[in-house]
Amino acid sequence: MATAATTAPADAPAVALEGVGRAYGERVALRDVSFTLPAGATVAVFGANGAGKTTLLRILAGLLRPHAGVATVLGATFPDEAWRARGRTGLLAHDPLLYRDLTVRENLHFHARLHGVPAARADALVAQVGLAARADDPVRTLSRGMTQRAAICRAVLHEPELLLLDEPLANLDPGGAIAVAPLIGREAGPARVLISHDAEQGLAEADHVLGLRAGRTAIWAPVGAVTLAEVRGLYA
């Protein structure tokens, strides 16, 4: 999707953070977080509720400005160059970012128009995740698992270079998890920032581990250097 003018060099990291911090009023949600994620690699982000994971994801998506440090995503320094990364990241958050009164197909066709993607791509994705039979039903009538499948279609519709995934398999049954794996799993290709509360599954999917505790970096290491116990310790 990205044009030659906006694509970072092939060896450029997908994400490079240096001392990134973010506060909501008096409350500091993220403090001095630094890491570099190579292109095509996956970082699993672990941390208890309120550790700063969602804030980190929203900064990487360009939806929140960092209050400290430098965030570079796909070669674009945020927030000044955030426009260069727009349309190159795919965000799958807790909120599906779908209009409840529109059908799955209407939602995806709308997003396809925003991203300049053919509507046929949306239809193909719907079929791929097993939603074809419900594609013309309003999103509000779908189960959580089906809504999650539709949200995954939306997130990958434009073939992003960086996937920002917040518990992507939440609410999915085993069949659903298998159906979406080619789209958001390791084999999908793009770099991934993967928030998970399932330590085993997160470690199996990742190349690097970022552990957050109260907004600070508690773990940053290659996946082989981190034990399951260390990850679980973040939730203690």
Partner 1 sequence: MRTTVAALIRKDLQLERRSFESVPAMLMFSVTVFVLFHFGLDRNALAGDLAAGVLWVTLLLAAVLGMNRLFVAEREQGGFDAFLLAPVDRTAMFVAKAAVLFGFLVAVELVAVPAFVLLLLEPGIGQALPELLAVLLLADAGIAVVGTLVGALGVQTRARDLIIPLIALPLLVPVVIGAAQATAPLLEAGGADALEVRWLGVLALYDAVFGLLAYAVFDYLLEE
Helix/strand/coil for 225: helix
Residue with Cβ nearer partner 1 (158 or 208): 158
Strands 191-195 and 208-213: unpaired
Peptide bond into 79 cis (omega under 30): yes
- Please give the Cα distance from 197 to 184 (Å, whole number): 17
Smallest separation (angstroms) from partner 1 to the CB of 61: 6
Q: What is the binding site for partner 1 (CB under 8 A)?
A: 61-65, 83, 86-89, 91, 93, 95-102, 106, 110-111, 113-116, 138, 154
Residue with Cβ nearer partner 1 (31 or 58): 58
Smallest separation (angstroms) from partner 1 to the CB of 196: 21
C-beta atoms surrounding 10 within 10 Å = 7
Smallest separation (angstroms) from partner 1 to the CB of 91: 6
Residue with Cβ nearer partner 1 (65 or 232): 65
Residue with Cβ nearer partner 1 (116 or 174): 116
Smallest separation (angstroms) from partner 1 to the CB of 204: 28
Nearest to 168 by CA among 188, 186, 152, 191: 152
Q: Tokens for 53, please give them.
A: 């994971």
